[in-house]
């Protein structure tokens, strides 16, 4: 017998699917698990350690056994629980974690060797000989371990993220959740109802119950229809709320396209839900009972069996037995009988157990063993030490129910043991604020109680928000209690599984106890209990109880386990969401990007920016050729570079000068209007933070620049100074980085070139000297700002125009300057020229540098209280002798390599004789050899000395001469002419 009558499947349509290459059929409404069971397939996988045959154990997301690789190719999805995989046309699934066919796994030899693989065995061996660990033992272990295999191909599907806000989030669409959602939604508040299943109803779909005068699924359909009609309620189906985070933020994954052959748009969406109140109505998970060989395919949770029979009309065997320690198991038996399934035995350790229907009852008995190599065939029943074997293809095990309180303990709140419920219940305090637990998750396990409790929880949650809601009329429902009488395990010599996936048995727990691994965390870590993909949902409480029995303590004395996100495993792709390729992070383009691209520029990522690195011309075969040309053309004629990426901050207000005086180590208030000054900014700990320029456009108006990399942090730092340190100053800040396209125009012909674009502006050295600045117009009336500053050491200007004109201005400058040798240059040439000039940049300003090291110690004014000034007076900073020097190879053919370490000649090269390192290096077409900058101990007094640059990483060592860092125009005549 496989398919029964009834069920919530659409028999009018047939879906074809395959498992391990074998074709089967099912119907819409099936899961892969229900369809396999309906086809009589019991063996679906292998366990982690012993490779024991495993079947379908549960009917929901707690499944520990029935893990498959779903789909194939790049979409292959290992470790997928067959119990939550919705059937679709063409579904392919394969079993995992075996060598050879599933029915004859070569690694099943591990099961024979299991005595050697007791808990923690690997900590005690594989230590000799030492080299064998990486070479032999570990590779062997790694190959045998793991579960499913990844495709190793990029995930081809798209993923999405989004943000939702609501007054009430209801997690779980079973009896309690539906009642809560109805109550709240009718009051008009904004409600989100999230359910992990593809069909609302929860256990209501899995029972044969009536609600009022109708079958439960009919009531569910009616409630759902009402909910769908309410505009203030949103149903998220196939959505798992996986984590409770701070302040009412919940993470949820909607499986948008997982039930389709291929997703129509995205496969999954990550929702971040911000909710004022939350009702957790996640139901309960049934416990099993460990007994000898309790892990064979066909042995499953009794409640799951009931669900398969009612919801999916699937029963995987003709003869079914039930092992239960409570009344709930008898319900399963009665339901099966009513469905026409042959129940061969109901085994109940209670001597006074009563049958609920027509089936053989073995009261006062326990299951003590099973048979069946790849699937259950026989069950051994023992009463008063007298065993009998009976035939059964399926054994339903009912050990009571554990509330699904996981999310309630995501804030590290500890669940509390309830003697009355014989289960852990959510603690009254310590859970996520605003969250209430309702229904079976709160121990309110009967249908009647769940409905009432859900509605009442919603009413109370809304009352808490100051909103009154009426309790809805709820249908009459069953209030049959399960009567939990836990039987934590059946004693015996053979192995009895507690954690199926990780093969943790009662024996392992005993061994942990024997070896003093008794605290629950030691128990878990020593045995790997609860570390499987079901996160211990089916194992942890049982294991605690077994340990409690061994220590003679109560369960709460033994410990509790708390839960952390995620509630069920979540795909990496959906957590990563969005774009992972070129749009992984924003890309900022400079104003002249289009022009540069049209010129064939090569671009480079500089933080978020894409900058032109160099502009190759036909015939140039190496980047060096191009860069040398750009440098020489700039130094001989004029070069143009887009420097928009530098941060720009508008500083205004009566106290702008006083404010900048406190931000920069050097004075700024004394700067004259129309002039620019280099500024050195320290962190409060005295190290160099950033550098840039301050231009004073008016008495109460400065424009300051920052380095490209530090634009954001420096702006934040400035706001900190303004708002937190000196709020009394009248100063206003706003970033204008993107508003202005800024171009460096550098070289002896810079002035002549600019004269061709400015509108009647006197650029003569007298009218507009070095470090002058002014507003002006260019190209027939375009607003612009001009700064006479130089990074290259040449006569140079920076010209800024509104960003939308940047592209055209770049083209114009190159065009009108053709006869002057106007040459666009990129970041490489920029870097070469600043090294030639000895200007510090990112490699020098790495946060570990002092003003003294940069030769700027004297700029730190002692006459004012600027950020960082005081801390430069610490002994260690004063004693710093490393200083920026220029470095040139003794043999001009030798390279200079940034990252090489500096040593005196003839000393042993180790950490303790290390005297510094090369920060930046390049080939200087001006000098005609490689050059570099570096920090060298006592550097300022060692000019002319020959030192060694050691680069053992690349097996090179070169002799360098220490020189001034100013390779070009050390007197600075060029930039002042």
Site residues for another protein, 176-215, by CB under 8 A, read 190
Residues 923 to 952 in contact with another protein, rule: CB under 8 A: 950-952
The answer to whether residue 699 forms part of the interface with another protein (CB under 8 A) is no
Binding to another protein (CB under 8 A): which residues in 876-895? 876-879
Residue 966: exposure state from Cβ atoms within 10 A (0-12, 13-18, ≥19): middle
Kindly state whether residue 48 participates in binding another protein, applying the rule CB under 8 A: yes
Using CB under 8 A as the binding rule, whether residue 899 contacts another protein is answered as: yes
Report the 10 Å Cβ neighbour count for 780.
7
Residue closer to another protein, measured from CB, 389 or 720: 720
For 423, the token pair is 């289960």
Residue 248 contacts another protein per CB under 8 A: yes
Q: Which is closer to another protein, CB of 444 or CB of 869?
A: 869
* Sign of the dihedral defined by the CA atoms of residues 831, 834, 835, 836, in that order: positive
Q: Does 141 bind another protein (CB under 8 A)?
A: yes
- Count of residues interacting with another protein (CB under 8 A): 197
Residue 480 interacts with another protein (CB under 8 A): yes or no = no
Q: Tell me: does residue 551 bind another protein (CB under 8 A).
A: no
Determine if 106 is a binding residue for another protein (CB under 8 A): no
CA angle (227 as vertex; 401, 166 as ends), nearest 5:
85
Rule CB under 8 A: which of 481-520 touch another protein?
507, 511, 514-517, 519
- 374 sits near another protein (criterion: CB under 8 A): no
User: Could you give the maximum distance between any two Cα atoms of the chain, in Å?
Assistant: 114
Residue that is written with structure tokens 């940034």 in the block: 898
Of residues 154 and 769, the one with the C-beta less far from another protein: 154
Grouping H, G, I as helix, E, B as strand and the rest as coil, residue 439 is helix
Q: Is 100 in the site for another protein (CB under 8 A)?
A: no
679 sits near another protein (criterion: CB under 8 A): no
What's the closest the beta carbon of residue 404 comes to another protein, in angstroms?
A: 17
For another protein, the closer of residues 827 and 888 by Cβ is 827
Q: For 400, left (φ over 0), alpha (ψ -120 to 50), or beta?
A: left
Rounded to an integer, what distance in angstroms lies between the CA atom of residue 886 and that of residue 959? 13
Q: Does 659 bind another protein (CB under 8 A)?
A: no
Q: Which of 12, 225, 247, 971 binds another protein (CB under 8 A)?
A: 247
What is the closest distance, in whole angstroms, from the C-beta atom of residue 766 to another protein in the complex? 28
The stretches of 592-644 forming alpha helices (DSSP H) are 593-598, 623-636
- Return the residue of 13, 101, 103, 121 that touches another protein, per CB under 8 A: 121
**For another protein, which residue of 1, 99, 107, 118 counts as binding (CB under 8 A)?**
118
**Residue 795 half-sphere exposure, CB side, CA atoms within 13 Å?**
20
Q: What DSSP designation does 73 have?
A: G
Instruction: Show contacts with another protein in window 705-724 (CB under 8 A).
Output: 712, 716, 719-720, 723-724
Closest separation in Å from C-beta 707 to another protein: 12
User: Given the complex with another protein, which of 29 and 251 has the nearer CB atom?
Assistant: 251
Cis peptide before 129 (omega within 30 of 0): yes
Please give the C-alpha separations between residue 433 and each of 121, 245, 801, in angstroms, as whole numbers: 43, 10, 53
Stretch 606-645: interaction string toward another protein, x if CB under 8 A: x-xx----------------------------------x-
Residue of 20, 208, 245, 427 interacting with another protein (CB under 8 A) = 245
- With CB under 8 A as the contact rule, which of the stretches 21-29, 367-375, 419-427, 600-608 interacts with another protein? 600-608
Contact residue for another protein among 579, 699, 762, 977 (CB under 8 A): 579
Phi, psi values for residue 698, rounded to 5°: -155, 170
Location of structure tokens 């949650």: 461
Cα separation, 113 vs 99, in Å, equals: 16
Task: Give the interface segment with another protein, choosing from 134-142, 363-371, 385-393, 938-946 (CB under 8 A).
Answer: 134-142
| Contact indicator for 178, 200 with CB cutoff of 8 Å | yes
Question: Does position 575 bind another protein by CB under 8 A?
Answer: yes
The reply to whether 594 sits near another protein by the rule CB under 8 A is yes
**Residue from the set 314, 778, 930, 962 that interacts with another protein by CB under 8 A:** 778
DSSP for 274-306? EEEEEEE---EEE-----BTTTSTTEEEHHHHH
**Residue 852 near another protein by CB under 8 A:** no
900 touches another protein by CB under 8 A: yes
- Rounded Cα distance between 223 and 227, Å, is 6
Minimum distance from CB of 432 to another protein (Å)?
10
Interface positions, 396-425, toward another protein (CB under 8 A) = 410-412
Do residues 601 and 807 make contact, with C-beta atoms less than 8 angstroms apart? no
Using the minimum distance from each CB to another protein, give the nearer residue, 133 or 770: 133
Q: How far apart, in whole angstroms, are the C-alpha atoms of residue 269 and residue 566?
A: 15
Residue 888, strand partner residues: 961
DSSP collapsed to 3 states, 761-823: CCCCCCCCCCCEEEEEEECCCEEEEEECCCCCCCCEEEEEEEHHHHHHHHHHHHHHCHHHCEE
Per-residue buried b or exposed e for 325-349, using 16+ beta carbons within 10 Å of the residue's own CB: bbbbbbbbbbbbbebebbbbbbbbb
Does the footprint of another protein cover residue 548 (CB under 8 A)? no
Q: Which is nearer to another protein, 141 or 338 (CB)?
A: 141
């Amino acid at each position: 017998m496989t398919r029964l009558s009834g069920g919530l499947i659409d028999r009018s349509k047939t879906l074809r699917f395959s498992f391990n290459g074998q074709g089967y059929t099912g119907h819409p409404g099936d899961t892969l698990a229900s369809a396999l069971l309906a086809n009589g397939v019991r063996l679906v996988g292998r366990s982690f350690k012993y490779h024991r045959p495993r079947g379908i154990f549960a009917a929901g997301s707690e499944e520990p056994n029935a893990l498959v690789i779903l789909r194939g190719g790049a979409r292959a999805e290992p470790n997928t629980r067959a119990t939550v995989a919705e059937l679709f046309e063409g579904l392919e699934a394969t079993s995992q974690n075996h060598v050879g066919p599933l029915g004859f796994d070569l690694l099943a030899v591990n099961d024979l060797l299991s005595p050697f693989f007791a808990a923690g065995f690997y900590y005690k061996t594989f230590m000799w000989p030492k080299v064998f660990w990486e070479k032999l033992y570990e590779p062997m272990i790694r190959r045998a371990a793991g579960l499913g295999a990844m495709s190793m191909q990029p995930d081809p599907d798209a993923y999405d993220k989004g943000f939702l806000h609501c007054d009430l989030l209801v997690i779980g669409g079973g009896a309690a959740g539906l009642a809560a959602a109805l109550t709240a939604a009718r009051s008009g508040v904004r409600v989100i109802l999230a359910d992990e299943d593809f069909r609302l109803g929860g256990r209501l779909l899995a029972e044969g119950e009536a609600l009022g005068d109708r079958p439960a699924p009919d009531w569910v359909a009616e409630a759902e229809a009402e909910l769908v009609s309410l505009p203030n309620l949103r149903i998220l189906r196939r959505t798992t709320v996986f984590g409770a985070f701070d302040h009412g933020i919940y993470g949820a994954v909607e499986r948008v396209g997982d039930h389709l052959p291929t997703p129509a748009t995205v496969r999954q969406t990550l929702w971040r839900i911000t909710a004022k109140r939350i009702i957790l109505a996640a139901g309960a998970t049934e416990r099993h009972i460990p007994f000898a060989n309790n892990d064979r395919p066909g042995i499953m949770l009794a409640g799951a069996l009931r669900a398969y029979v009612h919801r999916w009309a699937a029963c995987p065997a003709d003869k079914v037995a039930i092992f239960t320690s409570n009344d709930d198991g008898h319900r399963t038996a009665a339901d099966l009988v009513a469905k026409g399934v042959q129940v061969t035995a109901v085994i109940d350790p209670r001597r006074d157990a009563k049958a609920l229907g027509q089936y053989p009852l073995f009261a006062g008995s326990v299951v003590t063993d099973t048979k069946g190599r790849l699937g259950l065939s026989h069950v051994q029943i023992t009463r008063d030490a007298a065993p009998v074997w009976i035939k059964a293809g399926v054994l339903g095990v009912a050990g009571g129910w554990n509330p699904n309180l996981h999310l309630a303990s995501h804030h590290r709140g500890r669940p509390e043991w309830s003697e009355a419920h014989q289960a852990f219940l959510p603690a009254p305090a310590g859970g996520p604020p605003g969250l209430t637990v309702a229904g079976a998750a709160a121990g309110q396990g009967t249908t009647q109680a769940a409905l009432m409790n859900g509605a009442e929880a919603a009413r109370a949650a809304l009352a808490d928000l100051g909103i009154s809601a009426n309790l809805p009329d709820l249908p009459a429902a069953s209030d049959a209690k399960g009567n939990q009488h836990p039987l934590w395990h059946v004693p015996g010599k053979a192995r009895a599984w507690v954690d199926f996936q990780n093969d943790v048995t009662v024996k392992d727990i005993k061994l942990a106890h024997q070896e003093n691994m008794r605290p629950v965390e030691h128990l878990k870590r020593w045995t790997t209990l609860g570390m499987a993909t079901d996160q211990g949902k089916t194992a942890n409480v049982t294991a605690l109880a077994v340990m409690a029995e061994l220590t003679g303590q109560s369960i709460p004395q033994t410990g509790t386990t708390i839960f952390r996100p995620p509630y069920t495993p979540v795909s990496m792709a959906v957590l990563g969401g969005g774009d992972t390729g070129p749009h992984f992070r924003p890309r900022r383009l400079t104003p002249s990007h289009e022009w540069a691209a049209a010129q064939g520029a090569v671009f480079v990522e500089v933080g978020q920016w894409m900058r032109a690195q160099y502009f190759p011309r036909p015939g140039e075969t190496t980047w060096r050729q191009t860069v040398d040309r750009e440098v020489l053309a700039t130094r001989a004629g004029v070069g143009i570079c887009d420097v928009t990426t530098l941060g720009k901050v508008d500083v205004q207000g009566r106290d702008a000068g006083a404010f900048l005086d406190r931000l920069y180590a050097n004075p700024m208030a004394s700067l004259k209007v129309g002039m620019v000054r280099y500024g050195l900014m320290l962190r409060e700990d005295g190290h160099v933070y950033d550098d840039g320029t301050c231009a004073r456009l008016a008495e109460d108006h400065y424009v300051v620049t920052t380095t490209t990399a530090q634009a954001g942090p420096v702006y934040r730092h400035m706001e900190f100074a303004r708002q937190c340190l000196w709020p009394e100053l009248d100063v206003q800040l706003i970033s204008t980085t993107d508003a202005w396209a800024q171009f460096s125009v550098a070289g002896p012909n810079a002035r002549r070139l600019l004269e061709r674009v400015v509108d009647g502006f006197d650029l003569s050295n007298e009218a507009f000297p070095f470090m002058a600045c002014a507003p002006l117009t260019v190209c027939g009336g375009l607003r612009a700002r001009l700064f006479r500053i130089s990074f290259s050491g040449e006569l140079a200007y920076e010209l800024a125009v509104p960003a939308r004109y940047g592209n055209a201005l770049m083209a114009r400058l190159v065009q009108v300057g053709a006869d002057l040798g106007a040459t666009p240059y990129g970041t490489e040439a920029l870097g070469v020229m600043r090294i030639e000039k000895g200007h510090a940049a990112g490699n020098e300003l790495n946060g570990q540098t002092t003003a003294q090291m940069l030769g700027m110690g004297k700029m730190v004014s002692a006459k004012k209280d600027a950020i960082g000034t005081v801390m430069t007076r610490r002994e260690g900073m004063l004693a710093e002798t490393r200083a920026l020097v220029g470095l040139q190879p003794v043999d001009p053919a030798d390279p200079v390599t940034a990252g090489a370490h500096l040593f005196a000649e003839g000393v042993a090269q180790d950490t303790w004789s290390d005297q510094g390192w090369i920060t930046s290096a390049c080939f200087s077409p001006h000098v005609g050899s490689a050059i570099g900058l570096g920090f060298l101990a006592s550097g300022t007094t060692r000019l002319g000395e020959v030192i060694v640059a050691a680069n053992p990483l690349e097996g090179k060592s070169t002799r360098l001469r220490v020189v001034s860092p100013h390779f070009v125009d050390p007197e600075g005549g060029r930039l002042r002419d």
